[in-house]
Structure 1
Amino acid sequence: MGCCSSKEERELKYLEKNHIPLDEVSKKHKADSLKKRSSEIASRDSNPRNKKSGEFSILQDPSSNSPAVQADEVKEKTPPTSPPSRPQVNNYKPKKPKLDVKDFQFVNLKGEVRVKPPGSINGQAFSIDTCEDCDLYVVDACAQVMIDKAKNCRIFLGPTEGSVFIRDSVSCKFAIICRQLRTRDCHNMDISLFCRTMPIVESSSQLGFFCYDLNYEALTSHMQKAKLSTLHNFWSRIYDFTPKAGNWRLLDPDHTVQKLLAPVPEEAKAAFGEHGKEGPLFVTWGDRDAPSNDYMFVIFSKKKEEQAMQFIDEAKQKATILRCNKVAIGLDMATKMVNTTSWAKSAERDLSEGECVGVEISGPGCVSQLQGSAAALSGYVTEKEEVGAMFRYLGVETGTGHQ
């Protein structure tokens, strides 16, 4: 294209078209000039240093597959790359609802009925302070509960994950489900109790204890929220920091929560919902004198908790459940139990591989009525109380390191 547009070519074509004669020298000069011009253009275009990006040589077809053309085409079409962007992280955290401390306390009340229904506490801490002649019900799971200066009150506390502290209180009645109970400077109180650890008495007197027995509609979920197992109730294993006769006693087995708190207010009945004898919690006899000379101990190995609960359901209908526990016993304890009984040697390994559930039973004819059921459910049975005594309080603490 460059040589076809040169000045010399135009002049030559004009002379030839108009039949203007040229002398041979002039004609040869023109031809040599055209040839030289074409050679210079071809030489320039063949050198890649002299060619701009995307520009084709005069003597080169743009549709050619030559590497030079392809490289320029790729360079022209490929968009510039940018560094990869970092993924955006959403650091937004929804704000927790602000809690009002007044919703988690009963303070300076006299002669009143107050009820906290399920869902109103939702695992928070709760406090009761300076209340007199009141009916106070916390029918929900709590983190911990502090009670100070209560007088002549009837108080119900749902499952508490931590401790229930009762201080400087007098002439009260309590129904409590908790991990730990501590009383200090308290006098003349009756307590229906479920306690994961040994209840603690300090500088207190005339305290009466019996096993908690009231099931209510939301109790199972509240027990789960408070991380409490129905198999860990050591309500009668009292630890007294200031031991003295008359400080505490175990009340007769005919005591119940309903009798203790009677009359139960209608507001509390509504909070309890459907309730009755059937539920997650069951009554144990505790450390009272056994109701019969007949005795049996049944222990279930790891992964047999469901079978243990089936046995307990049957046993509480036919006999009296003295105590129960769930704990890992280890090979040494398992060997000691096997050597004390007639159990097969294989029981050593079976019982040492994880947490076991042990149940102590008493009542006239309990062995003949329940031995077959226990064996059918893969339980190990013995009538030797010394074996049950090895197991009953393993892993049970006051919360202060004492066992």
Structure 2
Amino acid sequence: MGCPCSKTEDKKEEETPKVYSWDRKDRPDPKDYKIEDLNGETIGRVPGKVDGQQFIIKNCQNCNIYIFDHSATITIDKCQDCNIFLGPIKGSIFLRNCTNCKAVIACQQFRTRDCKSIDVYLHCSSQPIIETSTKIRFGCFQYHYPELADQFAKSNLSPYCNTWDTIHDFSPMPDEQNWSQLPESAKVSDYLPLPTTEQFQSMKISTSADDSVVPLTLGGKKHKGSQSSLVAFFKDPSSDQRLRKFINEMRNEGSCSLVRTTEINMDAGMVTRLFGEDNRYISAATNGPVVGLEFAGANTAQKCQEVAQPLIGDSIVYLPQSPEEGTQALDGWKNLVETQMAM
């Protein structure tokens, strides 16, 4: 005998309407993730409004555009005379056919095609690429608002993995370089205005190097005859706070410049090859990625020692004992970074 309620259940199942993905009320509306065909407007998105979705900016002129959120990918097409801020992008940012724009961008991959006269303060975790583009100028990303660090984490971007200055040009000119670095004295606030419209009144923004989520780095520029040294911070609950304070103190001290920051995972073999058989370093490397700081300047190793000692507490930090040791450690560190980036 069959179950007396089976026919009733079958009837209920037949009467239940099917819900398809395009009918769902919670399905993202594409128009919420697009800015296009605007002229002379200040517009954008506040934290929580993009939330990791893909975004499109297209056909805008004389606009101030601010995306204060993290996204999957962003494309910017045919924009002219625009100021643009883009929060962390988990994937790629692609600028095409844009002219005379200024931007602050954090991303995994940066590409331009057929662009002219673009100034960009960049954080990029892979080698930035330009193609059939001219007069592109790069500087180091400098920005802060309370939600930004968490947005970096959600985008799997490390503030310390920043290769903003290692540009690859797919279409170089024989007698002219298509890209250059912005002046060392240039500040984000001089190039990109802060938003003043009602939409962004609650945003607490700073463009100070002391506040920036991404440390200010000099990039490939380095003064002739300067000494180069490596400082490495191993991860612990207090290391990031102490690392930030050390970077700011070194900048305020003034005799050395932070050239580049990188972050890599290290096993016991890597630690031993670079720092010797020191059990403190080997043990600390198991806590997570190690942050390497490349400094250049006069008496770099000595200055790093002097500034770091009062700050590092019980954190595990590699500090060079001499200029020769600092340079040798830096060369070894660069080889490890290049190997991991090539994998």
Matched, 1:139 2:77: no
**1:169 shift after superposition:** 1.3
- List aligned pairs for 1:104-183, cutoff 5 A: 104-183=33-112
Given the alignment, which residue of 215, 228, 233 partners 1:282?
215
Contact persistence 2:284–2:316 (CA under 8 A):
no
2:333 alignment counterpart? 391
Consecutive unaligned residues in structure 1, runs of 5 or more: 1-92
Given the alignment, which residue of 236, 246, 254 partners 2:165?
236
* Higher deviation after alignment, 328-337 or 121-130: 328-337
1:362 alignment counterpart? 296
Identical amino acids, percent of aligned pairs? 29
Matched, 1:273 2:204: yes
Q: Distance in 1 between matches of 2:76 and 2:112?
A: 10
Consecutive unaligned residues in structure 2, runs of 5 or more: 1-18
**1:286 shift after superposition:** 1.1
Q: Distance in 1 between matches of 2:261 and 2:295?
A: 9
1:379 alignment counterpart? 317
Q: Distance in 1 between matches of 2:151 and 2:192?
A: 21
Contact persistence 2:266–2:285 (CA under 8 A):
yes
* Higher deviation after alignment, 234-243 or 324-333: 324-333
TM-score (norm: length of structure 1): 0.66
Q: Deviations over 1:122-158 (max 9, x none)?
A: 2211101111222111111111101111112111111
Contact persistence 1:198–1:397 (CA under 8 A):
no
Q: Distance in 1 between matches of 2:57 and 2:123?
A: 20
* Higher deviation after alignment, 212-221 or 326-335: 326-335
**1:317 shift after superposition:** 3.0
TM-score (norm: length of structure 2): 0.77
Q: Distance in 2 between matches of 1:210 and 1:236?
A: 7
2:187 alignment counterpart? 256
Counterpart AA for 1:314: E
Matched, 1:327 2:264: yes
Compare relative contact order (CA 8 Å, sep 6+) and give the higher one, 1 or 2: 2
- Measured at CA, do residues 364 and 267 of structure 1 come closer, stay the same or move farther in structure 2, by a change above 3 Å? farther
Helix, strand or coil at the partner of 1:315:
helix
Helix, strand or coil at the partner of 1:103:
helix
- List aligned pairs for 1:341-356, cutoff 5 A: 349=282, 353=286, 355-356=289-290
2:251 alignment counterpart? 316
Helix, strand or coil at the partner of 1:217:
coil
- Between the two proteins, the alignment pairs up a number of residues equal to 306
Q: Distance in 1 between matches of 2:304 and 2:201?
A: 38
**1:270 shift after superposition:** 2.1
- Measured at CA, do residues 329 and 397 of structure 1 come closer, stay the same or move farther in structure 2, by a change above 3 Å? closer
2:3 alignment counterpart? none
- Measured at CA, do residues 308 and 112 of structure 1 come closer, stay the same or move farther in structure 2, by a change above 3 Å? closer
- List aligned pairs for 1:200-219, cutoff 5 A: 200-219=129-148
